[in-house]
């Protein structure tokens, strides 16, 4: 099983990337979690550019998502919403349909007490519009994340480790219980 993990942050030392790497380490042997790192390479979306000969970064992303069994997002919140680069990525996927009926998990993490809840809501809404499957337990809002993950990216909160396991398990279960296409 292959899960593509996408951080909404471009920072190299992003807490969101640390969380996705932690999930990759928690994954059972039969599950591969691949961290997508091409968000910064995607051109600005424009319908005129969205042709069969889209740019190489767009085609690479679409292929990666098409071949994935599930997708997991982890995003910060910027100005009470999802980061623009993440929205740009979703705009590129809208016409090609890689999220149709695909199990998708959403995590938001923030140093605030809100945990990025507004970014979480915006991302969840957009994924619903793209007809992704959003398993109930594959959703997590992490407030005060800097108290739970140290500067080296190690999770120091055992409750958070368990919550990440629940998200991963929900995604794996959603893939395993998908109905075959007819």
CA distance 31 to 26: 10
Q: How many CA atoms lie within 13 A of 112 on its CB side?
A: 12
Distance of CA 161 to the CA centre of its chain: 17
Domain that holds residue 6: 2-176
> What are the φ and ψ backbone dihedral angles of 30, each rounded to 5 degrees?
-85, 5
Q: Look at the chain and report how many structural domains it folds into.
A: 1
108 is a domain residue: yes
pLDDT at res. 179 = 55
CATH label of the domain that carries residue 118? 3.40.50.360
Domain annotation covers residue 10 = yes
Residue 155 located in a structural domain: yes
Residue of 84, 146, 150, 93 whose CA lies nearest to 119 = 84
pLDDT confidence of residue 90: 97
> How many whole angstroms from its chain centre is CA 76?
11
User: Tens digit of pLDDT per residue, the chain (182 long)?
Assistant: 999 999 999 998 899 999 999 999 999 999 999 999 999 999 999 888 887 667 999 999 999 999 999 999 999 999 999 999 999 999 999 989 999 999 999 999 999 999 999 999 999 999 999 999 999 999 999 999 999 999 899 999 999 999 999 999 999 999 999 855 43
Domain contains 181: no
Residue 182 placed within a domain: no
Q: What is the pLDDT of residue 174?
A: 96
The residues, ordered by sequence, that sit 6+ positions from 14 with a Cβ below 8 Å of its Cβ are 7, 76
Whole-number pLDDT of residue 84: 96
Contact 65, 6 (CB under 8 A): no
Instruction: Answer whether 75's CB lies under 8 Å from 43's CB.
Output: no
Residue 124 lies in a domain: yes
In a domain, 114, yes or no: yes
Query: What SS3 class is residue 45?
Result: coil
64 domain residue, yes or no: yes
């Amino acid at each position: 099983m292959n899960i593509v993990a996408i951080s909404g942050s471009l920072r190299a030392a992003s807490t969101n990337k640390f969380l996705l790497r932690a999930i990759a380490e928690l994954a059972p042997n039969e599950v591969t979690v691949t961290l997508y790192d091409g968000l910064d390479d995607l051109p600005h979306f424009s319908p005129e550019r969205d042709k069969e000969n889209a740019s190489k970064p767009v085609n690479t992303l679409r292929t990666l998502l098409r071949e994935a069994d599930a997708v997991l997002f982890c995003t910060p919140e910027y100005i009470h919403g999802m980061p623009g680069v993440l929205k740009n990525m979703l705009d590129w996927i809208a016409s090609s349909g890689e999220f149709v009926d695909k199990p998708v998990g959403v995590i938001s993490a923030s140093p605030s007490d809100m945990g990025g809840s507004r970014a979480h809501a915006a991302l969840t809404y957009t994924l619903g519009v793209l007809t992704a499957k959003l398993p109930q337990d594959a959703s997590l809002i992490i407030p005060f994340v800097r108290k739970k993950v140290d500067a080296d990216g190690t999770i120091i909160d055992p409750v958070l480790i368990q919550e990440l396991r629940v998200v991963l398990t929900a995604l794996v279960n959603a893939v395993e219980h998908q109905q075959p296409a007819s």
